[in-house]
Amino acid sequence: MAQHALSLEIPDVLTTCIFRVIDTSTYNENVPLDCPKLQITAPGFTTAVELQPGTDFSVNYTACDLELQLTNCATTRNAVPDGVYVVRYSVAPNETVYVEYNHLRITQALNQINELLCCLDVPNCEPQGPLARKLREVQLLWTMLQAAKARVEYCHNPSEGMAMYTYVIGKLRKLACGCGCGTC
């Protein structure tokens, strides 16, 4: 008898205070479905936070839900940091029926790119000279950000992906400072 085909989608979002997880599993109605568990290990942590989302879910988790923020949860929403998250979803028997992902969250980096593009004040025609060079650099950095995600999520090499991510963040800061955008 076929088991459940578990899968998750963890989309890139631009809202810094949420971590979104969507259940994209296919459940076999002839197989019991018990004890769904979602475990998320945040960057820099070794212990997962265990959540009980049920099945067929689409959930936005906050820093409080992920135990990254421990105070003022009713009044303040801290940003969920970028970095590599390990996300594991399982159903009974949880030791054998599970799916696990490395996910590189890039929300803050995407927001930095958008802020930089706003600051550059791109005209509604093809830019020339220094602005064109800056836009090519932004495009390269965006592509490198996608390559960092691929390193983490598809090549299963989190350390290389994070090294690329860190490089991109440094270059974005330098580019923003050189353009008079943001704080230096």
Q: How many domains does the chain have?
A: 2
Same domain, 98 and 23: yes
Taking the C-alpha atoms of residue 60 and residue 64, their distance in angstroms, rounded to an integer, is 11
Assess whether 29 and 82 both reside in one domain.
Answer: yes
Cα–Cα distance, 141 to 151 (Å, whole number): 15
Structural Rg of the chain based on CA atoms: 19
Q: Are residues 18 and 36 in the same domain?
A: yes
Domain that holds residue 58: 8-105
Same domain, 54 and 77: yes
Tell me if 17 sits within 8 A of 110, measured CB to CB.
no
Domain boundary pick from 56, 73, 105: 105
Q: Are residues 114 and 133 in the same domain?
A: yes
Shared domain check, 100 and 17: yes
* Tens digits of residue pLDDT in 116-128: 988 887 777 777 8
**Residue 166 located in a structural domain:** yes
What CATH number does residue 19 fall under? 2.60.40
Tokens of 61: 């988790």
Residues 166, 128: Cα–Cα separation, whole Å: 29
> Which of 69, 84, 105 is the C-terminal boundary of a domain?
105
pLDDT for residue 49 is more than 80: yes
State the Cα–Cα distance between residues 22 and 43, nearest whole angstrom: 20
Q: Pick from 87, 105, 123: which residue ends a domain?
A: 105
Residues in the chain: 184
What integer is the mean pLDDT of 65-83?
A: 96
Domain co-membership, 13 together with 79: yes
d(CA 52, CA 32): 17
Same domain, 113 and 66: no
Whether the pLDDT of residue 6 is over 70: the answer is yes
- State what percent of residues in the chain have pLDDT above 90: 78
Predicted local distance difference test score (pLDDT) of residue 110: 96
The pLDDT-based confidence of 183 (bands split at 50, 70, 90) is low
* CA 102, chain centre distance (Å): 10
Residue 58 lies in a domain: yes
Q: What is the DSSP letter of 110?
A: H
1 pLDDT above the threshold of 60: no
Residue 2 falls inside a structural domain:
no
91 with 126, same domain: the answer is no
